[in-house]
């Protein structure tokens, strides 16, 4: 039976006790009415006799507070102070507190378990709180039906590690169906080669997708007027093909360009989540170099792919991706080197075309190469950067590999691909 104070007022109980003390009603009936046992009856009767005027059956209920240890309190406020300093720095693209991040950091770094409500309460008490802006209703949906049907590929330039005082590019490739991040890398300089490396990584590991979705950046698309500095002025949009796009054309992979920034904005990218977590971790670990930042990025990508439930699909990306592959709900195709080419270096590379002169030579950036080719034949150069210092050039003529040279990266400095 429910408690006395929830079913009776204090005055009603006082009236019953008065009648008992006047011998008008027997105790057994009052116990039955109040729904209590003999012991409880006499406890209440004693309180009534001692202070009849101030008698009440209502009493303050206090939930025992376990309290936080001074060390936990200190760590919460330390993390909140770091958040505030980061948000107030105009050079860092963070404008709100992330209390869930602090909760996870307390758990993983300090081995302390604290509820999210406790952190938010401390934030409000100590002035580490900002009202959230009104959010646009979340109405995104997955428009693709197969893994590999559409790969969203893009880059973002930010001050990912404020201690480095240098902005880096984050290049990512994302499977639209599963939201699984297939590739992510930080680079100091964005070039055609850094994006070709992303293609190589995705295709050699997962196969050839149906299509790539990119914006109209000059690396992905020639646009008349904007790119006319490097090309003849009579060329129209898409009448010349950038290096990155040439790789996909040779692989028979479709390229889809967003027609406007608004259209690109409708396609979800992982930058919001990565930006939020990557910057915060780099701030706390005082990262000043791109290599340790890349290691942190790897940890965040693993968390995103294998542990984070995606808000649109309501599934963990890796589970959704692997299930699609297992159930053959995939448009990925096996990558094969098509003859006459012999190596992946002939596909995932930078390309130049030269014409052999009457002395059977060609020139590249003031370097001359004597080749076993007839005068006035066209030679296709497939240039593969082995590392930052060394390039390999593979010379192709009429479907045959006629020579291979290695040279320093500085020898090709200034060559426009």
pTM of the entire structure? Answer: 0.77
C-alpha distances (whole Å) from 100 to each of 274, 276, 413 are 14, 11, 47
Q: Which spans in 59-151 are helix H?
A: 70-88, 99-108, 116-125
pLDDT digits (tens, 9 = 90+) for 371-398: 999 999 999 999 999 998 999 999 999 9
Per-residue pLDDT, 356: 95
C-alpha distances (whole Å) from 291 to each of 243, 281, 295, 313 are 27, 14, 7, 32
Per-residue pLDDT, 165: 92
Q: Give the H or E element holding residue 401.
A: strand 400-408
Tokens for 160, please give them. Answer: 């990912």
Per-residue pLDDT, 139: 47
Between CA 166 and CA 170, with CA 168 as vertex, the angle to 5 degrees is 160
- Taking the C-alpha atoms of residue 256 and residue 253, their distance in angstroms, rounded to an integer, is 10
Per-residue pLDDT, 223: 73
CB 387: neighbour CB atoms within 10 A? 7
Per-residue pLDDT, 224: 61
Q: Which spans in 285-370 are helix H?
A: 290-306, 317-326
Residues forming beta bridges with residue 142, ordered by sequence position: none
Tokens for 393, please give them. Answer: 């050039």
Per-residue pLDDT, 276: 87
Maximum pairwise Cα distance, the chain:
132
Which residue stretches of the chain have pLDDT < 70? 1-2, 59-66, 133-142, 224-239, 259-271
Per-residue pLDDT, 24: 84
Residues 220, 242 contacting (CB under 8 angstroms)? yes
Q: Where are the beta strands (DSSP E) in 192-327?
A: 211-214, 254-257
For strand 211-214 and strand 254-257, is the pairing parallel, antiparallel, or unpaired?
Answer: parallel
Domain 151-326 falls under CATH 3.30.420.10 = yes
- Taking the C-alpha atoms of residue 317 and residue 310, their distance in angstroms, rounded to an integer, is 7
Q: Is the dihedral of CA 309, 315, 316, 321 positive or negative?
A: negative
Residues 131, 313 contacting (CB under 8 angstroms)? no
pLDDT digits (tens, 9 = 90+) for 85-140: 999 998 888 889 999 999 999 999 999 999 999 999 999 999 999 887 665 554 45
Per-residue pLDDT, 226: 59
- Taking the C-alpha atoms of residue 4 and residue 12, their distance in angstroms, rounded to an integer, is 11
Per-residue pLDDT, 138: 46
- Taking the C-alpha atoms of residue 62 and residue 182, their distance in angstroms, rounded to an integer, is 52
User: Could you tell me which of 137, 184, 182, 172 has the C-alpha nearest to residue 311?
Assistant: 137
Q: Is the dihedral of CA 287, 290, 296, 297 positive or negative?
A: positive
For the chain, which residues make up each domain, given as ranges? 4-50, 70-125, 151-326, 344-412
* 383 CB burial (10 A radius; 0-12, 13-18, 19+): buried
């Amino acid at each position: 039976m429910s408690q006395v104070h929830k079913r009776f007022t204090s005055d009603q109980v006082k009236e019953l006790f008065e009648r008992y003390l006047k011998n008008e009603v027997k105790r057994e009936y009052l116990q039955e009415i109040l729904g209590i046992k003999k012991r409880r009856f006499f406890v209440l009767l004693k309180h009534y006799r001692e202070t009849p005027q101030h008698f009440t059956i209502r009493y303050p209920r206090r939930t025992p507070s376990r309290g936080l240890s001074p060390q936990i309190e200190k760590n919460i406020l330390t993390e909140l102070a770091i958040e505030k300093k980061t948000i107030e720095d105009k050079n860092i693209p963070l404008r709100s507190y992330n209390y869930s991040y602090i909760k996870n950091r307390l758990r993983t770094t300090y081995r302390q378990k604290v509820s999210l409500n406790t952190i938010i309460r401390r934030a409000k008490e100590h002035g580490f709180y900002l009202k959230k802006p009104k959010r646009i209703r979340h109405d995104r949906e997955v428009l693709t039906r197969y893994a590999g049907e559409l790969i969203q590929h893009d880059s973002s330039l930010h001050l990912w590690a404020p201690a480095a005082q240098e902005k880096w590019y984050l290049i990512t490739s994302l499977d639209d169906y599963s939201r699984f991040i297939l590739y992510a890398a930080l680079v100091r300089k964005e070039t055609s080669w850094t994006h070709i490396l992303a293609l190589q990584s995705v295709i050699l590991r997962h196969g050839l997708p149906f299509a790539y979705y990119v914006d109209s950046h000059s690396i992905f698309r020639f646009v008349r007027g904007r790119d006319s500095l490097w090309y003849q002025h009579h060329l129209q949009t898409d009448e010349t093909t950038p290096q990155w796009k040439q790789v996909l054309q040779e692989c028979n992979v479709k390229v889809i360009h967003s027609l406007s920034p608004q259209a690109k904005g409708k396609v979800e990218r992982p930058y919001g989540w990565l930006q939020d977590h990557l910057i915060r971790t780099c701030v706390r670990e005082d990262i000043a170099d791109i290599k340790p930042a890349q290691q942190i990025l790897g940890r965040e990508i693993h968390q995103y792919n294998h542990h984070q439930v995606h808000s649109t699909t309501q599934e963990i990306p890796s589970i959704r991706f692997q299930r699609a592959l297992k159930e053959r709900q995939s448009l990925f195709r096996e990558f094969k080197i098509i003859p006459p080419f012999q190596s992946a270096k002939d596909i995932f590379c930078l390309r130049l075309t030269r014409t052999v002169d009457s002395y059977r030579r060609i020139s590249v950036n003031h370097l001359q190469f004597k080749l076993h080719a007839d005068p006035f034949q066209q030679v296709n150069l497939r240039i593969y950067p082995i590392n930052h210092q060394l390039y390999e050039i593979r010379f192709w003529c009429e479907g045959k590999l006629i020579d291979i040279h290695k040279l320093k990266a500085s020898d090709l400095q200034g060559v426009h691909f």
